[in-house]
Structure 1
């Protein structure tokens, strides 16, 4: 029995040492190399997308660059999508993911998150004047992005309204969802409202958002698991951006009243004294 207890204690000490050894490993590497690899979407208008000049721009792009600047390192922008953004973090291919990702408890089992840096909710996008309430989408074909919270949310909503077998069609990218709507392969597209606003603005007057929010989508920056130094650096950068007005400037650039994507800011970032 004594030998078993000794072995158990030794194993616990080894695990504790390993945890200490690896805590902060990603942050230390970033500061040593002076480069942070940040995963960013490429077709999430206006979060992160390629404009007419083929420039990679958007709210998340500006936020990512500002975080890197405040950490005192250069940025390596890595393209990600809904299916790769978590896997890339787990595989060590990126150090953080600024990719309109809802912070969910299920995702927190495999990666860490920053404080909430953006507040959104889910709606439907449909041809203008065709639908007026959520109930109108029962039995209709709804485009969603595969593997997202949006896919789960819309299925749940439709079932609650009596749709026993929701016709939810999954696509890999936002642009594919919008194309399905434009081509008539889907009657509506459902995801976070700011993404829908971004795509609707590309063809003014043809599409509209329908109904109230039916989910809460707090975006967090995805981070590698168990690196408190990196998490603190990101959280402090976000809070400092809010304090000195930089966040408001970036937000107004992409979601202000003078933009095509107007989306009033209704909440504030969590601040620590």
Structure 2
């Protein structure tokens, strides 16, 4: 059992970002497998052992939490947290459906976690550390990990030059950037060191997925962080943005669909 140390506080996480994910929750990860691919690979790299205690921060619908719970087995403990209540509820239902009774999902802010120090052997964060807040997030991860505990976090790194059209359209339509906390590589080293997370290793990974057609991609764009930009558009501009995007997509569409070769990285470190 994992015990709480203090009450849940939402810290400095941007309310607009939280609301965004509330609106995206129902369609999140329903179009093509994306975050679950990264989640399963991160769990493989974590080399989880039966009986270990694992925490998944910004767990979403359970892309990392479910394979992590399976890896540690009934002798272990798997806890997922997400500040978005709808995400935590969906993850909870998925755990129950999978019969993973030793796992749970809670509503909690990754910047101010209500766990005692040294509560976990492993902490995971799948494509969510920038949303949590890098400095407070890393500090909290180091606090709840036992000395020698492992931390792994993933982040998308790009889908190839043919996908640059989205950022070009964002610029053309004058859309405000999403307020993410993304430090440089040098700053990342400093932040990890300050938090007490050392021996940092970066694993570069990739996977392939095909969107069935342009409409499937459009639905997918609304199901995750890109929704931030699309919600800024008026109905007229949204249609213009959509048609411009579809024109680009048709330029590299194949018989199998619209290909995405998604690059991502998994960063690992050890708590000291």
TM-score after normalising by structure 1? 0.33
- Larger Rg computed on CA atoms: 1
Q: Identify the structure with bigger relative contact order (alpha carbons < 8 Å, sequence gap 6+).
A: 1
